[in-house]
Amino acid sequence: MPKSEMPSGALVLLILRVLRSGPLHGYAIAQRIHALSSDALRVEEGSLYPALQKILLKGWVGASWGVSDTNRKVRFYKLTRDGLRQLEAELSDYERQTKAIQAVLRMA
């Protein structure tokens, strides 16, 4: 399958949604998105970590150091209450936009 480009703005939404299930470190977030998308979406480090830093600064996630399953020191990210509210707002916007796009595709 050809490599799919991540739609603009989707990465933050996907990160927040994946973290709703519980804390994960960066590599695990990327792997989870890849697996849940049936290998269609691949998150590169060059976009993942800047996005995580952005949402960390906005207070949508918190971070703490821990040890991974492979015994490496990693930073775990956890969704905050503000992050949950942001996720709900972004999901609502996404659903509204998707319905609008579908309407145009049906009517055009």
Quick: pLDDT tens for 60-95.
999 999 999 999 999 999 999 999 999 999 999 999
Q: Is residue 1 part of a domain?
A: no
In-domain check, residue 61: yes
Number of independent structural domains in the chain: 1
Position 71 in a domain: yes
Q: Percentage of the chain with pLDDT > 70?
A: 94
Q: Is residue 4 part of a domain?
A: no
Please state the pTM of the whole predicted model: 0.89
Question: Average pLDDT, whole number, for the chain?
Answer: 93
Q: Which domain holds residue 83?
A: 10-107
Asked whether residue 55 is assigned to any structural domain, the reply reads yes
Residue 2 pLDDT > 70? no
Does pLDDT of 1 surpass 50? no
- Would you state the pLDDT for residue 9? 80
**What CATH number is given to the structural domain containing 22?**
1.10.10.10
Q: How many CB atoms lie within 10 A of CB 76?
A: 20
Residue 5, domain member (yes or no): no
